[in-house]
Amino acid sequence: MTPSITLLKKLSLLLVLIFLTNIAIADTADGKKIAFDRTKGNCLACHAMDDGDMPGNIAPPLLAMKARFPDRAVLKAQIWDATVKNPISMMPPFGKHQILTEVELENLLDYLYTL
């Protein structure tokens, strides 16, 4: 193996790595947008979260998500359809009523776990 090829290999590995972390960062950035956007999650209507401006005070603040929701499926279920747990819940059923797509939900979850 010539030295130039090893260098090329290393370089391309580096590129792949950069690419992957970028996707991860892009996902959580998208997730934040989805959470804040009034036409998407609009979580701020009810929850204080992150650096969100003028949040409502209808629901508990969203923080320490990793500690409080170690199981991603449990968190997803709450967002998919909150009325399963609490039939008179005010929270819209984002998955069940297709307010958010599957991809948007996953991006949102990635973002929530950064809180």
Partner 1 sequence: MKSLFNILVVSLLLALSSAYATPEQDKETFQNFYTEMFPDISLEGFGDGVYALDQDARDQWEAMNDFPPYEEDLEEGEELFNTPFSNGKTYANCFENDGKNIRQNYPLFDTKQNKVITLELAINNCRESNGEELLRYKKGEIAKLSAYMTYTSKDSLINVKTPDSKEALAAYEAGKQYYYSKRGQLNFSCANCHTQNAGRRARSETLSPALGHPTHFPVYRMKWAGFGTLQRRIDSCNKQVRAQPLSGQSEDYRNLEYFLTYMSNGLPINGPASRK
Binding-site ranges for ligand HEC (CB under 6 A)? 35, 41-43, 45-47, 58-60, 62, 68, 75, 78-79, 82, 85-86, 89-92, 94, 108, 112
Secondary structure of 32-91 as H, E, C letters: HHHHHCCCCCCHHHCCCECCCCCCCCCCCCECCHHHHCCCHHHHHHHHHCHHHCCCCCCC
Among 10, 66, 68, 97, binds partner 1 (CB under 8 A): 97
Q: Which spans of this chain sit near partner 1 (rule: CB under 8 A)? A: 44-46, 54-58, 83, 88, 90, 92-93, 97-99
